[in-house]
Amino acid sequence: MAPAAVCNNTNCLHGSAESRQTPIFKDQLSLDDQFAKLVSGIPLTTYYNDPSVSPIPVSWGAATPTSRGPIVASRAGKGVKKHNTIGSYGGCYNIYHALAVASHQLNPEYRADYTNAEPAYHFKPQPQWFNKEKIVALDPLGHLAPWEYGHIAESEEVEIKPTISITKAHLQLLEMEDYVKKGELEVDGEVVVNQAGDLAVTKLAVDPVWYLPGVAKRFGISEIELRRALFNDTCGMYPELLTRPDIKTFLPPIGGLTVYIFGNPENISDSSKKLALRVHDSCGGSDVFGSDICTCRPYLMFGIREAVKEAQAGGAGAVVYFQKEGRALGEVTKYLVYNARKRGGDSAAEYFKRTECIAGVRDMRFQQLMPDILHWLGITKIDRMLSMSNMKYDAIVESGIQIVERVPIPEDMIPADGQVEIDAKIQAGYFTTGNQITEEELKSTMGRSYTELK
Ligand SMILES: [Zn+2]
């Protein structure tokens, strides 16, 4: 077993080596008896009408941080009685946290020490942060939690964790070096910091926090319908979805998002300045490993370049990167679809059908919740939208943000095998400045078959 991580900060309240190594069951009971003992000591859920339950008040959309109140998910300390959120901090990573506890490498009572962890850039509060309709899928005060609500954590004996963090970095991307060499990107020492094309960036990581009535409203369904589906589809992982109608917020175990801002972050909410923006949904195969079956990395690099150029011209540029692998169907489904495509004659005409055959739908990204981060940033107008997706465009415009111009990926950046995807998407409604594609043309756009792959 790997040794437990050791923090040198003397303020940290790490568990002792002894507590990490103490097994839960010391006596020699049968497995049946061990389970009986386990279940008798742990309430399987809490109930809204239990008089001993007293959640810390939270009022989504309230006008100030104090009247809004903290998002309290943890069961640590007095959290079992006082939490006001369903689910756990850390989204899907909570399972690793559980493994660290189960393997005695982490004391379950360990409390984070946030010394020097406060945001590297302080975003000005926006009116949208206090509007319960505009933001329903993230906690607008998630970056302030430990500092704004630390006194509540202490006095109420609960654990309050941030769901947003903000830092600064340099990015090194081979494409940017190439753009500098070709004269397509200028070194200004501020955004493009050197001849290697290194980029200065302010970035935010955001874990999702759902305000259930607001999420239900976005989808035009009732809160009960939403709770029921979430309970069933997670195989009962969150019984409080059914037993705590008084709790309105939920931390879903799904991927979050990252925002990369180039130039002065203050410009992003200033509608007198131009903004170039790409909303990108993750594609590990292309974004990281360079697979040529889609246009993801090329469009991402184009998006970064254009965002940088807008920032250099005195405006703002940003890329919002959502963890929604394979159109939020997951990478396993994605590869199954690739197989079905490559074995069935990979034509643009059949592109979406292959996904529908396996997943039942062509897309589960549900862009309805995507604009929340744009509202959080205070964006009211996007001058250059670096995306062809009609779903993203519709969601943004319907949420009240103006889009001035839509910018498709340049033709010469589309990999040969990725033409199938882009043609199918254009035919399905994606924006293009080129010709619309006919049904006939769609049939003739073919990708490689497996016999042509090395
Ligand atoms: Zn891709």
In the reported structure, the alpha carbon of residue 414 is separated from the centroid of ligand 1 by a whole-number distance in angstroms of: 12
Measure the CA–CA gap between 24 and 385, rounded to whole angstroms: 55
- What's the pLDDT score for residue 247? 98
Measure the CA–CA gap between 22 and 24, rounded to whole angstroms: 6
Report in angstroms the alpha-carbon separations of 351 from 54, 356, 420.
52, 9, 7
Total residues belonging to the chain: 454
Measure the CA–CA gap between 381 and 317, rounded to whole angstroms: 12
- What's the pLDDT score for residue 445? 82
Q: Which positions of the chain have pLDDT values less than 50?
A: 1-17, 19-20
In the reported structure, the alpha carbon of residue 356 is separated from the centroid of ligand 1 by a whole-number distance in angstroms of: 17
Q: Average per-residue pLDDT in the chain?
A: 91
In the reported structure, the alpha carbon of residue 285 is separated from the centroid of ligand 1 by a whole-number distance in angstroms of: 6
- What's the pLDDT score for residue 15? 43
* Active site residues per annotation: 363, 365
**Cβ-proximal residues to 380 (8 Å cutoff; 6+ apart), any chain:** 269, 271, 400, 401, 402
Strands 85-87 and 249-251: parallel
Phi, psi dihedral angles at 103 (to 5 degrees): -90, 15
Residue 30: is it exposed, middle or buried by C-beta count within 10 angstroms (0-12/13-18/19+)?
exposed
Enter the pTM of the model. Answer: 0.91
Residue 51: is it exposed, middle or buried by C-beta count within 10 angstroms (0-12/13-18/19+)?
exposed
- The amino acid sitting at 128 is Q
Closest of 449, 254, 290 to residue 365, by C-alpha: 254
- What's the pLDDT score for residue 8? 47
The answer to whether 235 and 72 are in contact (CB under 8 A) is no
In the reported structure, the alpha carbon of residue 290 is separated from the centroid of ligand 1 by a whole-number distance in angstroms of: 9
In the reported structure, the alpha carbon of residue 250 is separated from the centroid of ligand 1 by a whole-number distance in angstroms of: 29
Chain segment 359-401, per-residue pLDDT in tens: 999 889 999 999 999 999 999 999 999 999 999 999 999 999 9
Chain segment 45-85, per-residue pLDDT in tens: 999 999 999 999 999 999 999 999 999 999 999 999 999 99
Strands 381-385 and 164-171: unpaired
Chain segment 34-47, per-residue pLDDT in tens: 888 888 877 789 99
- What's the pLDDT score for residue 27? 64
In the reported structure, the alpha carbon of residue 361 is separated from the centroid of ligand 1 by a whole-number distance in angstroms of: 17
Q: How many C-alpha atoms does 333 have within 13 Å on its Cβ side?
A: 19
